[in-house]
Structure 1
C-alpha cells in the first residue's frame, strides 16, 4: 500500500474488481447531485441538462495500449498509460486516481466522502498508517497473484531447458548469462514519470487548488446577485493591539437591482479611508435614488436614475463584484473543505499574502458556491502603521427579501426637485 492517503486510495481502487470500481464511481457522482446508473462497463450520469458516460480504463497485459470506449465523455484512468491514452482524445475529460481522490475528499463533504470509501473499500480517507488498515484482497488481486505465480513457473522451466541445452557446448558455461567471460551488469532503472493531477474547476475562477482568477469569480458573483433579492450585511472594524477602536455596519436590502435600502451604523472612531461601507443611508424605488444628507435643505438628496442603465446589474451587485476581486486576489489560496447545503455544494476557501491595501498578515476565508456566488467573506490584515482591520460580509434571505421605504424617506419627506442624473457622492454607497 502507498505511504500517503492519496496513494493508499489509489491502491484500494486498483485492488477492487471492475464492478466494484464502477459502482464506487457511480456513487461518487450521485453524491454530487447526478442521477447515475451502471450500464455494462460504463457509468451513466445525468442531470436535467447534461449526460455523462464515464469509463474506468486500465493498461492491458504486457503493456498493450488501452483504448477508450466510444461515446465516453469522462475517463477515470487507473494508471499512467491509461491516462496518456485518454488524454489523447480531445473530447474526453480525464481523471487520474489522484484527481478522483481530490474529488472525493474536497468535492464532497468530508463525512460523505469517508462514508463512500468505507462502504466500498472498508476504510476511510483518514491519515491512519497503512499498517493499521486491513487490506481487502479482491478476486482481481488474487487472480493477479496466481497469474504472477504461473509466469514465474514458466520462466523457471525455460531457464532449466536453456541450461540443459547449453551443457557441454565448448566455450559456454551453463548459467544465466550464457558466456563465462561476460559480466552481468545490473539492469538500468528508469523511474516512471509521475502524473501530477491537474486541478479542475469547481466554480468560476476557482479550482481545487484555490482561487485562480478572482476577476472571473467576481464577475460570476455579480451575475448571480444581480438576478436575486437578498440581504447583504457589510461589517468594517478597526482595532489597535486587538482592542476595537471603531466599526461600521451596513445592512443592504435588495428586492430588485434598483429597488433597495442601505442603512449604516457607526460606533467609535475610524481612521482608515476609503472603507467598503457606505458613507450615507440610501433608498431607491426603481426610478429615483434618495440619500439621507443632514446638510441638505430638506435633509435628503434625490437623483433620478438614468433610464439607459436602469436595467443594469445594480449599484450593490457592482460593489460586491469589486470587493470580491479586491479581497480574494491573494498570492496563496486553497480549498479547505466542502459541504452540501440544500443540495448546493459550498466550498470553504482560505487565502493569504495580499498586498492590498499596503498590508501585512493578510488572510481571508470565503464560502463559495459552484455558481460563483460568494456567500460570505471574512478578511483580516494589519496596516503598516499597526492598525488592525477586519472586513466581513454575508448574504442571507436570498430570494425572500422585499423593500419598504424607510421612515426618513417617507412620501411626505421626499423633495420635489430632482436632478436628472444617475450619480452619487459616494461610489460605494
Structure 2
C-alpha cells in the first residue's frame, strides 16, 4: 500500500472492482454538476448540450499496451501504461489517479470530496493511514494481490541465484547489479524528492495552478456570451486615501448580439481616462445603433452611429473579451476554491502583479465557469500618482433578458416592421 494519502487513494481505486470504479467516477462527475449514468463499461456525463463518454483504462499483463475504446472523450487512467496509451489517442482528455485525487481534494468543496471517498471506500481523506483500511476488497483486488505475490517470489528466487553465482568472486559484492564494489550510502542522509503533480486544465486557459493563458480564457468568455441574453453591470470607482471621489455605473442589457441597451450613471469627478465604462448611453435594434448625447443643443438627441451592426459576435461580447484578457493577465494567480451552483462548477481565482500601465498593488478576484464564462471580476490597483481604482463587473439574468427602446429614442427612430432582427421590431418604450 502507498505511504502518502495520494498513493493510498490510488490503491483504493485500483483495489475496487470495475463496476465500483465506474460508479465512483459517475458520482465524481455528478458532484461537478453533470448528469451521469453508467452505460455498460462507460460513464456517460451530460450538461447542457455537452456529452462526455468516460472510460476507465488500466495497463495489461506483461507490459501489453492497453486499448483506449473508440468514441471516448475522457479516460481515467489507472496506471502509467494507461496514461501513455490515452496520451497518444487524439481528442481524448486524460485524468490520472493523481488528477482525480486533486479534483476531490481541491476542485470540490472538502465535505463533498470526503463524502464521496467515504461512500465508496469506507474511509475519509483525513483518516487514510496505513493501518486504517476498509474491509471491502473485491475478488479482483485479492487476485491482483496474489499475482503480485507470485511476481515477488520469482524476483526473490532470481536474486538468490545471482547472490550464489557471484559469491567468492574477487571484487564483486553480492547485490542486485553485481559489478564493482560501490560505497554504501546512509539511507537517512539521502534526500527524498517531493513529487509535485502537474496542473490539469479546469477551464480554457485556466489550470489548477491558476490562469496560464488569459487570451484563451477571454476567447472562451466571448463565445459563451455571444448567443446569450444577459444583464452586464460594469462599475468603475476612483478614490484618494480610501475616500471615493467619483464613480460610473454602466448597465448593459443584451437580448441578442446586436440588440441591446447601455445606460451609464456618473457621480462625482473622475480623473483617469480611458475607462472601461461607456462614454454615452446607446441602443441597438439589430439594424441600427443609436447614441444619446445630452450635450446636443436640443438636450437629448438620437444619432445613428453604425448602420451596419449585424455582423460579428456583438459590441458587448467583444468588450467582455477585451476586459477579461486585459484585467486577468497577471504574473501570479491561483485557484482558491470551487463551488457547484445550479449544477455548474464555478472556480474562484485570485491574482496579483499585473503589467497594467502605471499601476501598483494590483489584485483581482474572478469567478470562472468550466466553459470559460467569467461570471464576475473585481480588480483593484493604485496609479503612480496615488489614485485608487476599482473595477467590478458581473453578469446576471442570463437567458432571461429582453430589450425595449429607451425613452430618449424618439418615435421617428423607433424600429418598425421589417427594420429589426429577432422579433424586436414592434416594441415600444
TM class by shorter-chain length?
Answer: 0.7 to 0.9
- For residues 210 and 132 of structure 2, the distance between their equivalents in structure 1, rounded to whole angstroms, comes to 34
- For residues 124 and 390 of structure 2, the distance between their equivalents in structure 1, rounded to whole angstroms, comes to 38
Number of matched pairs:
394
TM-score, length-scaled by structure 2: 0.77
CA displacement, residues 138-192 of structure 1 (integer Å, 9 cap, x when unaligned): 24555555566666778888999x79xxxxxxxxxxx745532444255469x99
Task: For residue 372 of structure 2, give the secondary structure of its aligned residue in structure 1.
Answer: coil
Question: Is the aligned partner of 1:123 residue 2:127?
Answer: no
- For residues 9 and 242 of structure 1, the distance between their equivalents in structure 2, rounded to whole angstroms, comes to 49
Unaligned regions of 5+ residues in structure 2, if any? 178-184, 186-191, 415-429
Compared CA separation, residues 156 and 282, structure 1 to 2 (3 A) = closer
Stretch deviating more after TM superposition (112-121 or 9-18): 9-18
1:354 paired residue number: 354
1:404 paired residue number: 404
Unaligned regions of 5+ residues in structure 1, if any? 164-174, 415-429
Task: For residue 385 of structure 2, give the secondary structure of its aligned residue in structure 1.
Answer: coil
Offset of residue 333 of structure 1: 2.4
1:76 paired residue number: 76
2:44 paired residue number: 45
Task: For residue 279 of structure 2, give the secondary structure of its aligned residue in structure 1.
Answer: coil
Question: Is the aligned partner of 1:179 residue 2:167?
Answer: yes
Quick check: 1:231–1:251 contact (8 Å CA) kept in 2? Answer: yes
Offset of residue 371 of structure 1: 2.8
- For residues 254 and 156 of structure 1, the distance between their equivalents in structure 2, rounded to whole angstroms, comes to 72
Task: For residue 297 of structure 1, give the secondary structure of its aligned residue in structure 2.
Answer: coil
Offset of residue 21 of structure 1: 2.2
Instruction: Tell me which structure has the larger Cα radius of gyration.
Output: 1
Question: Is the aligned partner of 1:250 residue 2:238?
Answer: no
1:135 paired residue number: 133
CA displacement, residues 269-318 of structure 1 (integer Å, 9 cap, x when unaligned): 32222111122233334444443333311123433254433343332222
2:264 paired residue number: 264
Compared CA separation, residues 194 and 66, structure 1 to 2 (3 A) = farther
TM-score, length-scaled by structure 1: 0.77
State how 1:1-400 maps to structure 2 within 5 Å.
Answer: 5-31=5-31, 32-37=33-38, 39=40, 42-47=41-46, 50=51, 52-58=53-59, 60=61, 63-68=62-67, 70-71=69-70, 73=72, 74-90=74-90, 92-125=92-125, 128=126, 130-131=128-129, 134-137=132-135, 138-139=137-138, 176=164, 179-182=167-170, 183-187=172-176, 196-197=197-198, 199-200=200-201, 202-400=202-400
- For residues 413 and 297 of structure 1, the distance between their equivalents in structure 2, rounded to whole angstroms, comes to 18
Task: For residue 354 of structure 2, give the secondary structure of its aligned residue in structure 1.
Answer: coil
- For residues 317 and 25 of structure 2, the distance between their equivalents in structure 1, rounded to whole angstroms, comes to 39
- For residues 374 and 8 of structure 1, the distance between their equivalents in structure 2, rounded to whole angstroms, comes to 36
CA displacement, residues 361-388 of structure 1 (integer Å, 9 cap, x when unaligned): 2221112223322111111122222322
- For residues 118 and 317 of structure 1, the distance between their equivalents in structure 2, rounded to whole angstroms, comes to 44
